[in-house]
Structure formats: C-alpha cells, structure tokens
Structure 1
Amino acid sequence: MFWWISLLQAEYRDISKQIFEYLEAPMPLYIRDDATAELVAKLAKERGLTKQDAVRLAVQAELDRTREAKPLRERLREWREANPLPPPTGLKADKAFFDDLSGEGE
C-alpha cells in the first residue's frame, strides 16, 4: 500500500470524528422568523418565563399532545364500528350484474 493512502485514511478518520462531535454538540436556537420570535416573547411575558423556557414549554406541550393523540388504527376501528358495512345481499358481482346496472343486460 502506498504511504500516502494510509495518511489520507488517518486524516479522514480525524476529520470524520471532528464532524460527528460538532453535530452532536448542543446548538443554540436562533429564530429568524419575526412572527415566531414575537409569539415566543409574548408567551414568555405572559408566563413570566425566559424565552428559552417559553420555547421549552411550548415544545414539551406539543410533544405531550401528540403522544396523547389516538393512533390512526384506533381511530379507524372506532369509525368502522360507528359505520358498519351493509349486510351482504347475496348477489354475485359478475359481468352480468354490472351489465344490468349499466342498462346493457338483456
């Protein structure tokens, strides 16, 4: 193996490690949208909180709300119980049946 390949591999490992450490580090939250920043400030003022605590409170409330929401499977089960299918008619859904529905069956 060429000596420069092992050197490049070592450099790549070091750079990769630094990138992953950077990405896993906590990052400050900067809100660029003025309307959102105003809402955070309003919530913080009404509750007597810092803006950071207001953001934490709002995010936690949303996470709690979504956790408490019923899963789709449960909502569909309840809807099906409230809206059952009609009983079977015993008719065969074949070509003759559909021809008769469209007025072509004679």
Structure 2
Amino acid sequence: MASLYIKNADTADLAREVAGLLGTSKTAAVHDALLHRKRMLETEKRTSIHDRFAAWRAAHPLGEPTGLEADKAFYDSLNDEDDD
C-alpha cells in the first residue's frame, strides 16, 4: 500500500480543513483535489491559446467607447499641467 506524507504543515492543515468540509478522509480530499487539477490541466492542453484568449475576452468585455479623445491636452490634464 502506498502512503503519502505531507511534510508542509500549512498543506496538511488545508487538507484537514477540506476533508472536514467534505466529510471525507484527508487522503480522499487530496485525491479529489489532484484529480480535479489533472482534469483542468488536460482540458487546457486540448484548448488552443487562441480559444482560451477568446473565452477570456468574452467573459471580460471592454467597456463602451466614451467618444472622448485622448489627445495631448487630456494627458496634460492628468498631471495638472498648464496648456503649452
């Protein structure tokens, strides 16, 4: 039988907390977390970078154009500079 010893105290505490929330053992909690992460990584590998960026842009659209012009006067106003 294989065993897994978690040497990092913070990680062991986190595994204990997650196991408590799930009502399972620490081993089952770690197994579920690793299985979930593995599936996410496999999905990312199959998805091209272009598709991932397109999905991100769809989830985070740009705001509507304001119609304001960002000219020299605008940038000068950001620094409280007088008109030149």
Within 1, Cα distance between the matches of 2:28 and 2:46? 29
**1:55 matched to 2:30:** yes
The percentage of counterpart residues that share the same residue type is 25
Higher relative contact order (CA 8 A, sep 6+): 2
1:17-96 to 2 correspondences below 5 Å: 26-71=1-46, 74-75=48-49
The unaligned stretches of length 5 or more in structure 2 are 54-84
Q: Which has the larger radius of gyration?
A: 1
More helix by share: 1
1:76 deviation in Å? 5.0
RMSD: 2.3
Q: Cα gap change, 1:44/1:63 in structure 2, threshold over 3 Å: closer, same or farther?
A: same
Moved over 6 A (4+): none
TM-score for the superposition, normalised by structure 2: 0.54
TM-score for the superposition, normalised by structure 1: 0.43
